[in-house]
Structure 1
Amino acid sequence: MNIIVTSLFVEDQEKALKFYTETLGFVKKHDVPSGKFRWITLVSSENQGGTELVLEPNENPTAKNYQTNLVAQGIPATMFGVEDIHDEYKRLSESGVKFTMEPTKMGDFTIAVFDDTCGNLIQIIQK
């Protein structure tokens, strides 16, 4: 069994698409109209056949509450792996990304957390 799709609630699909592609470097795989929203999936530029990330609208009150409560408690909505967290931290910071946690060693891992501008905190990790 494999994870083929995972979702991330976002406040604005178009803004999220721009941030996740232009700033983070993901590649758009699907962008299909679905009622008043779109089915938008992204993949890693390094593994375009890999797991897809769905930019899911948070119109549902339960989704909005979930997203708001995670941020209020400082809990990242998801985690992305990076080769060199210090290089990625520098690149993203220079692009205007706001971090809530600078790269921090945690046992065998180093993590950092940033605001995706779309209602989420995102953790990056280097093993």
Structure 2
Amino acid sequence: MASAEEPDGTELQLALNDNPAAKAYQEAIFKQGQPAVMFFTDDVKGDYERIKAKGGAFIQPPTEATGSTIAQLNDSCGNLVQITQLARW
């Protein structure tokens, strides 16, 4: 599904995870707190507020880390998604 703001932009497609080995791996990395995917942004706090307002379930709000600010959310399909804003020097 492409963004309403950029209908010709990047499009993501979710696929059914019916492979037992893939499912076991997915559950293991989720338990470890490892994101399945990371997206970079220029406004992590703004994206956090926008996604949260639409019902996004964040497990970590925007948090300063070495050289970046990160936030993580549960995509409700068993994956953690991280959004990252790199620090500008």
What's the TM-score once normalised by structure 2's chain length?
0.81
Whether 1:59 aligns to 2:18 is: yes
Structure 1 runs not aligned, ≥5 long? 1-20, 22-26, 29-44
Higher strand proportion (structure 1 or 2): 1
Deviation of 1:101 (Å): 0.8
Structure 2 Cα separation of the partners of residues 100 and 73 of structure 1: 13
Structure 2 runs not aligned, ≥5 long? none
2:49 to 80, 90, 95: 90
* Partner in structure 2 of residue 106 of structure 1: 65
Letter in 2 for 1:96: G
- Percent identity of equivalent pairs: 40
RMSD: 2.0
Structure 2 Cα separation of the partners of residues 105 and 47 of structure 1: 32
* Partner in structure 1 of residue 37 of structure 2: 78
Aligned length: 84
* Partner in structure 2 of residue 118 of structure 1: 77
